[in-house]
Structure 1
């Protein structure tokens, strides 16, 4: 490690199913190229949205920078710091005030000096990332709204249902090997629960691919329970799907 230097690295992945190994690999390559031992670097790794300000590791890193623990911080790209302009600027400001150098391993700006060099470009990159996220949210909401207006189901299908080209339909021929749950299986189990014949646990034992908690949730939700026992729903998309059960009864 360079004489008198102390390093931290921040790594963030947005969701549980994402991998951060590419970030780690790039940062380790940067450290090796700059003769910095990985063993002497404090890594702050977390899963969190870049739009949130209550990220535990990110906030801890900022506190540690404020306390003078680091002279250098390494990140994969500016968007990993934050997809919220104010959060990114807070990070830049703290580093500037404490004389901490920010190193970016991937991006158009690779070094942000405490004196301000590179900060303007980095700030623009952070604002662009924030605007891209806002546009994505707007497009997603618009797409969901159009889908709902077209009668399509926009989330995971309810228990015992599936979707066909976006439209909700009862799963009357479930593939149990694919972890599917049949609509009529749910109906049978709920009828036994309501009559007192089965407990939630027993219903789960006798019904493929459904948990005790799911039965409990449906049984205690009058609106959802009516889907299965009365073939009645206030949601037009569900009501139309339930009509398929009546046609095949």
Structure 2
């Protein structure tokens, strides 16, 4: 018999120790020599993504008939997408590969179909949970936009306050790499007067390229030179510096 193991951790700092411990314990209990086991791991990878190098390599190896057993900690480590789980289990069934789950509602999914029904239900639950999460995120973003909160990357010279609203930085912390709103206004005025991007950027914690990008963007340039914007969130934030 030939064995492979698979581990997935969804964030770079999420430990995979508990997964390895559970899998290694199963291998010891079934007298499997660890030296003969091929190990696959995707760290910092979401279970909602199919673009996982090690997972796809494992799937190709299974499809080639390389393994009789694949051991993982929990079904969600394989995927949180129902279609991907079905494809994985279909491939294992076609090649006579048993999937062992060391910590879950089902202990194994065998080529003859044992455990497959429960595994498919779990996959559908994951899929529904993912859809619900996406809907909640989208609803939260829509609500934040309606309330005038700033979403996405904070532009230079601004910060996002504790309530999520955009605010101009009046007293910048240069040690922390902040650039003040008024500093940028002065910098763009100097460029308007004919100074070069390089000379103006030399006195600011901002690159020449970033300064150039702001100046060449008509809408963003208005934020600083006119304290005006067609974006309601930016327009409201500039109330404190509007003269």
Give the TM-score band, short-chain normalised. 0.7 to 0.9
Superposed, which structure 2 residues align to 1:1-249 within 5 Å? 5-46=1-42, 47-164=44-161, 165-193=163-191, 195=193, 197-199=195-197, 205-208=202-205, 210-246=206-242
Q: Paired residues, what number?
A: 241
Can you give the 5+ residue segments of structure 1 that lack an aligned partner in the other structure? none
Alpha-carbon deviation of 1:100? Answer: 0.7
Could you say what secondary structure the match of 2:242 adopts? helix
Superposed CA RMSD in Å reads: 2.4
Alpha-carbon deviation of 1:21? Answer: 4.0
Judged with a 3 Å threshold, the aligned counterparts in structure 2 of structure 1 residues 192 and 57 are, in CA distance, closer, same or farther, namely: farther
Alpha-carbon deviation of 1:198? Answer: 3.7
Judged with a 3 Å threshold, the aligned counterparts in structure 2 of structure 1 residues 189 and 11 are, in CA distance, closer, same or farther, namely: farther
Judged with a 3 Å threshold, the aligned counterparts in structure 2 of structure 1 residues 213 and 96 are, in CA distance, closer, same or farther, namely: farther
Alpha-carbon deviation of 1:216? Answer: 4.3
> 1: CA distance between counterparts of 2:5 and 2:14?
19
> 1: CA distance between counterparts of 2:200 and 2:18?
45
Alpha-carbon deviation of 1:237? Answer: 0.4
Normalised to the residue count of structure 2, the TM-score between the two structures is: 0.86
> 1: CA distance between counterparts of 2:67 and 2:200?
57
Can you give the 5+ residue segments of structure 2 that lack an aligned partner in the other structure? none
